[in-house]
Structure 1
Amino acid sequence: MSWTTIARREYAMTGDSRAIRWLLWALAGACVLSGYLFPVLGSEPYTTKAFAGFGFLTGSIDYLLPLIGVFLGYGAIVTERTSGQLTLLLSLPYSRRDLVVGKLVGRSLAFATTLVAALAVAGALVVYPLGSLSPGWYLAFVALTVLYGVIFVGIATAISMLTQSKHLATAGAFGAYGLFVLVWRTARAALAFGLETVGVIDGALPDPALFLFGLNPVTLYDRLVTGFFVDGGAGPYAESSAWYLSEWLALPLFLAWVVVPVAFGYLRFRNTDL
């Protein structure tokens, strides 16, 4: 018996949550609607590469996918821990690593299958009848977007590993969503406005400040989409010439968000007395 058994169980169990089902349908609907609207509202060329930077699509993904990830991950460990089921599960031939990997993979597959199917339909709507397919670029965009969701499943799962209280896990996971998705960019805009108002800066924040604000996984995802898929992209990061604000440095930082939160949570969970 291995983590794959746990992954299959977790994948099946996530379908029982009505909230997750509704959020997945909302995300799928937004993706498909974006594929329909892009040839109508977008500008030529109508390619799947350009579609990756379509504002309605990226905006929907920015807000909905992290929320789905948090819903999938916040109770992954702590729910079974508080009920006593975790002790029983670990008495079977599973290690704590098997448990964490299985839960992360199974719960990530729960959104990834819906997301990939929705983006496939959206891509077909872009291509037919006047658009063109950029298969390599579009596959890269789909993979990047799946990893974006995995980041938030991982963050929520890590928080679930760090506490013995479901209330704390819920507050921590949804607090992380609020911080990264809702507060972070508002804080950056407010700081830029305040500094410009008092005459400290003229326009965008200094590059070092942009780098710090750009460490947010939501901002990193947007930077990667703009940098790699949008020709002539706008915004403070696209317009800066600083090497440390390039999409090539944003990529390893983005990948670090996939690994580091889960690794940190697991290292604490591995040595914790249940």
Structure 2
Amino acid sequence: MSWRDVAHKDIYDASRSRTIWVLFGLLSLLFVGYAAAYASVGDGTFTGFVTGVVGLVDRVLPLLGILLGYRAISDDRNAGSLLLSMAFPQSRGDLLVGKTLGRTVVLLVPTLLGLSIAGLYAALRYGIEGAIAYPWFLFATALYGGSFVAVAVALSASTTNDRRITYGAVGAYLLVVVLWRSLVSFAVAFLHRFDPSLGTPDWALVLQLVEPGEAYARLLDVGFDVERASRYVGDGAPAFVDWWATLAVLLVWIAVSLAVGHRRFGASDL
């Protein structure tokens, strides 16, 4: 079996499950509901709708990505099916990549369909100004979601202890999504007490941009005016916080997660 076979099996199993259809329905309801409600809470423009829905995606997609991936390998290992699967001519790397790709497709298909339906509704209601950049938004969202699936699948491959996997998944969400920005801001504020003229040093910009949510916002700023990305596009912003750097950040999250997961998986017992 190759990584393609593993991914195909994961996608096929998900398509037969009610979970994927419930997920599609909930995400469509969430995004279309926001598009409908935006007329009363926003400025009534398509671009404003996109910048608003980014806030939903920023919180919901990491959670769903982690939930879909954090038991991808550990459940097969505990059920004994992993040992049977590895009896076929496939490597552990194929299994890891296939699981990651399969779970990513399972996450992104309902997410991107829901966003596409919401985008179409918003374009019909609020006008098409700015809609030409909507595919870029979908592309950035796909990378953002894929980075969290990769982290979760790598975590699932890293240990056989269910409690560690659960704690790791919760900790990853809290650290990367909830606490990262606050920790960087606290570090800068702490240093300001000793040097009030410090400003925002370059290393703080780098640490902020390494967080997937910040990289996602900066990447979106190529097509939309995302408020969170303003610190990276103002006068005097260094070149290393340009959009291409954020594209690299999300790809590195995926690659490094899989590399660490593969190393741990290769050294563990099935």
Cα separation, 2, equivalents of 1:262 and 1:65: 19
Question: Which position in structure 2 is the counterpart of 1:52?
Answer: 50
Q: Which amino acid aligns with 1:32?
A: V
Pick aligned residue for 1:66 from 62, 65, 85: 62
What are the superposed Cα offsets for residues 62-93 of structure 1, whole Å, 9 maximum, x if unpaired?
Answer: 11100111111111112222332211111124
Taking structure 1 as reference, are residues 227 and 245 closer, same or farther at Cα in structure 2, changes over 3 Å only? same
- For residues 1-150 of structure 1, what are the structure 2 equivalents within 5 Å? 1-14=1-14, 16=17, 25-43=25-43, 46-47=45-46, 51-54=49-52, 57-132=53-128, 136-150=132-146
Q: Aligned-pair distance for 1:200?
A: 2.5
Q: Aligned-pair distance for 1:189?
A: 3.1
Q: Aligned-pair distance for 1:98?
A: 2.8
Cα separation, 1, equivalents of 2:21 and 2:188: 39
1:23 and 1:64 in contact (8 A); partners too: no
1:184 and 1:216 in contact (8 A); partners too: yes
Cα separation, 2, equivalents of 1:178 and 1:21: 27
Percent identity, aligned pairs only, is 32
Cα separation, 2, equivalents of 1:117 and 1:272: 38
Cα separation, 2, equivalents of 1:205 and 1:111: 36
Question: Which position in structure 2 is the counterpart of 1:189?
Answer: 185
What are the superposed Cα offsets for residues 200-221 of structure 1, whole Å, 9 maximum, x if unpaired?
Answer: 3359522321212321112111
- Give structure 1 stretches of 5+ with no counterpart: none
- For residues 258-269 of structure 1, what are the structure 2 equivalents within 5 Å? 258-269=254-265
Superposition RMSD in Å: 2.8
Aligned residue for 1:76, secondary structure, equals coil
Cα separation, 1, equivalents of 2:199 and 2:241: 13
TM-score, with structure 1 as normaliser: 0.84
- Give structure 2 stretches of 5+ with no counterpart: none
Q: Which amino acid aligns with 2:233?
A: A
Pick aligned residue for 2:237 from 233, 237, 241: 241
| 1:206 and 2:192 are equivalent in the alignment | no
Cα separation, 1, equivalents of 2:18 and 2:177: 23
State the aligned residue count: 268
Q: Aligned-pair distance for 1:232?
A: 8.0
Cα separation, 2, equivalents of 1:203 and 1:65: 35
Cα separation, 1, equivalents of 2:258 and 2:173: 16
TM-score, with structure 2 as normaliser: 0.85
Q: Which amino acid aligns with 2:250?
A: F
